[in-house]
Amino acid sequence: MKTLNSAAYTAPVIMRANRRTDFELAIRGEVAVLYRVARRMVRSPEEAEDLVQTTLMRAFGAWARFDGQHLRSWLIRILRNENLMRVRSSQRMEMAELQEDSAVDEGFWDEVVWRDHADRVLDALDSIPMEFRMTVMLCDVEQLSYEDAARILEIPIGTVRSRLSRGRAMIRAIVLKERR
């Protein structure tokens, strides 16, 4: 009968524990950011929590492959991709149901007095199309660089600037219209 070397069996457990601890320490400051971004994507606190949880599970699974650079961008990209997969899955389900039934500017924040108009601005942000909403959210609300936003959204930096300008203009128009 062979004797078991206990050191050979404890090493993988210690490595797994260190991996989990490293991950937890690294993402601790990013969870609130992920939740805010998710909240703007799905518009429901419960869905946002689910999306963040799924994102963190995916990120932990890929932690060994993460290069250590741009953690926030990496996490938000995973969040975005998870949301896109949910939307696509939901659309496929809706299509299946239908088939069964039948045989859907840089000075922007200076212009808006944030404390007095935060609710209006956030409501306006929620009402603009997703591609503009995400760009404004990442650059203005989360204060990521244009480069990081371009990396997350997988678009050229010029497109980030264009969407940001147009998104801000849409929000400005909505907020000003509500004032009247």
All domains of the chain, ordered by start, with CATH?
A: 1-103 (1.10.1740.10), 105-180 (1.10.10.10)
* Average pLDDT of the segment spanning 107-120: 57
116-156, pLDDT tens digit by residue? Answer: 557 777 888 889 999 999 999 899 888 899 999 999 999 99
Asked if residue 152 lies in contact with residue 80, where contact means CB atoms within 8 angstroms, the answer is yes
91-106, pLDDT tens digit by residue? Answer: 666 665 555 544 435 5
